[in-house]
Structure formats: structure tokens, C-alpha cells
Homo-oligomer: A and B are copies of this chain.
Amino acid sequence: MTKDFYTATEERRSIYGISKEVVVTDEKIKEVIEHAVKYTPSSFNSQSTRVVLLLGKHHDKLWDIAKEALRKIVPADQFSATEDKINSFKSGYGTVLFFEDSAIIQGLQEQFSLYKDNFPVWAQQSSGMHQYAIWTSLEIEGLGASLQHYNELIEADVKNEWKIPNNWKLIAQMPFGNPTAKPDEKQFSPLEERIKIFK
């Protein structure tokens, strides 16, 4: 599929109603993720972003891991709402996990000590760019996605389950699937409070 940049970025939304009945091929999903990871920038071209795509039983397993981790900390009488939420993500077709390779960031800190404090911040910005590129790409391919952050809660189990290198730091989870419900209308703050122009 293809879509004009402005249209695609406008139509990308957080989609919470998702199912496993997708019309796009796994090969296409892989291709658009590869495109985003290849062309999204990073400071000093460090290319520190890492992506894991979980499909099928791996996707289901991820959300089972999250559910069990939450069961340990959410009060029993509130767990039903939590379980529903996790099940809504599990209802999707796959999940993109975003990591940053801390070994690369540390290497830059040692090599360019003047910018030591900046590299972790720039890595977060670059991770955001990757999240945005993949989110929009999934939208273009007819999928609905949202961005979740169960990082600390699931990171150890995720690394153990899929043998993820220990220096990959988990940043975000993006469950996606066939969109089954339209998003709510979005509220916008006035642009004139957010943009200043001097000419």
C-alpha cells in the first residue's frame, strides 16, 4: 500500500479495538518495519534502536506475561478491568517491541564524553522517531496500533522468553491488528499556544 505522508500522519491514531483477522501478509509487515528501522535517523548515525516483532503464539505469550505480572501487583477486586485491557491487546495480530541498545549508547558516551549526558536523551528521541515511523507504516498497511509501556514489569520475562541480549533496554510495546473500532475524536489544544513564528 502507499499513502501520502501528510494523509498517513493525519490518519495514524491509537487504535484499541484490534483483531487477528488481518489482510496484510507477514512479509509486508516485516518489510515496512525493515524500511523504518533502516531509514529512521539516530544521533551520530548510531543506529541504536532494536525491534522485535512478535506474531502468532509469540504475540499471545507476550500479553500472557504482562497479565501474570499485573496479577501480582493489582488488587484482586480490580484485576478484572486490567485483564480486559490486556486481553484487548492480546486480541490483536502481533506486537512490535522497541528496545535501545545500551552498549551502543555507552560506547558513544565513552568516545564523546562531552556529550555524555545527551546520548541517552537522543536515543529516546530516536526511539520515538522509530515508534512513529512504524506506527504510521502499520496504519498505511490497514492495521490499527497503539503504544504501551509495561517496560519494567515485563522486561526480565521478555528477555528470558525470547533470548533478548541483556544490553537491549525495553522502551515500548506496540500491539496491532485489524482495526475493529474507530478511535474517539481527538482533542486538540490551540495551535497558536504551541507554535510561535518570528519573521
Contacts and interface: CB of A to CB of B under 8 A. Distances in A.
Interface residues of A, number: 66
A81 interface: no
Interface string A136-165: 110010000001010000000000001010
10 contacts: A6-B140, A9-B133, A34-B191, A37-B191, A41-B132, A41-B135, A47-B194, A52-B196, A52-B197, A162-B198
Instruction: Count identical subunits in the complex.
Output: 2
A95 B191 CA distance: 18
A33 interface: yes
Interface of A: 2-6, 8-10, 12, 14, 26, 30, 32-41, 45, 47, 49-56, 58, 118, 121-122, 124-129, 131-133, 135-137, 140, 147, 149, 162, 164, 171-172, 186-189, 191, 194-199
Nearest to A36: B9
Given A2-B6, A132-B133, A149 B118 contact: yes
Contact of A198 (B47, B55, B121, B198): B55
Contact of A2 (B4, B194, B197): B4
B34 A9 contact: no
Nearest to A101: B194
B198 A52 contact: yes
A198 B58 contact: yes
Contacts of A30: 197
A58 to B, nearest CB: 4
Nearest to A196: B52
A41 B53 contact: no
Nearest to A118: B149
B45 A186 contact: yes
